[in-house]
Amino acid sequence: MRKQGRDAQNKKIGSISFDLKTLCTATNNFSIQNKLGSGGAGMVYKGTLPDGREIAVKRFSGALHQGITELGFIVLIAMVEHPNLVKLIGFCYEKMEMLLVCEYLPNKSLDNYLFDPNRRAQLEWRTRYMIVRGVCRGLLYLHEDSQLTIIHRDLKASNILLDKDMNPKIADFGLAKLLGRDRTHEITRKNGGTLGYMAPEYYNKGQFSKQSDVYSYGILVLEIVTGERNSEFEGSSDALYLSTYVWKHWRNGKGLDVVDKSLGNLYEQDEALKCIQIGLLCAQHDRTKRPSMSQVSSMLDSPNEISKQPCEPGYAPVLDNSIVISSPEQEQALFDTYRDVQERQTV
């Protein structure tokens, strides 16, 4: 039985592997003209395969093969297919080069639209609501409907790619982890992720779970509704975070006041309020009070009002766009900053 599993895995690896020469040709030797973007782990380039398929090639830099250094994990990701997940076409591991080959999505990432004053107008309400629902379906698949429980750990607007019809696809599984069978959470000493989207328990204790992904989803939903970036929020003198700002308006019965002004009156008020309520429920400090993604899906699909009311959201300090906590000293320093921010928040 194990031999059959290994044979199937080897067959899968062979079917998705590329040689380096093919990818060099496809990307014009990774030319600057083909560069789509960059991150802490490396560069992403557009390419064209001999059969005409357009691809995105992620070229990892140096030894930073974050989370995808084992072929077994690559195979795992390749087996995870869903309309709201970016499809992995293949990989290359040759001559000290590590590359991932994914489908190319022409509209790039959500943050290119959501936080750009000129492009934001292209995100009409119907599109935003479709993105909220699509990301929910993709995350639900990772958590509950695939063969294994996968925790993304870095869900954010820049990791939501959009196809030609603006359908969302969750991307970048470089920090993804498996949640063990019958485990509610796991603990890591290296908290890779993006501040502003990291759940408090993940930031403070390295504790990741389905609920930590749910927290990130909640922050993302609030960004989609408001058009504000959580990590650069400056919309209120009495709220350090977007989630706090939204919650205070919600608590005072003024939830619609936070809806992105660029939408004017061209949005469904009931849907907007539902998204705000869901976002706040997902972003609650106590992870046990956050809904599961299956519950979120039911809320979005139901025409009924949501009876459950959110408590005050949790926070992790927003100091930089991304961070990897790599030592106890760094963790303590960041925790001290977090505590200071919390004290300011409650004054």
| DSSP-assigned beta bridge partners for residue 178 | 150
* Alpha-carbon gap, residue 228 to 222, rounded angstroms: 8
Q: What is the CA radius of gyration of the chain?
A: 20
Q: Look at the block and give the residue holding tokens 């490396």.
A: 42
Q: Which one is catalytic: 19, 111, 154, 163?
A: 154
Q: In the chain, where do the E strands start and end?
A: 35-39, 42-48, 54-60, 88-94, 97-103, 150-151, 160-162, 168-170, 177-178, 186-187, 192-193, 207-208, 323-324
Q: Return the percent helix, strand and coil in the chain, to nearest 5.
A: 45, 15, 40
* Alpha-carbon gap, residue 158 to 172, rounded angstroms: 9
User: Among this protein's residues, is 154 annotated catalytic?
Assistant: yes
* Alpha-carbon gap, residue 172 to 68, rounded angstroms: 10
Catalytic site positions: 154
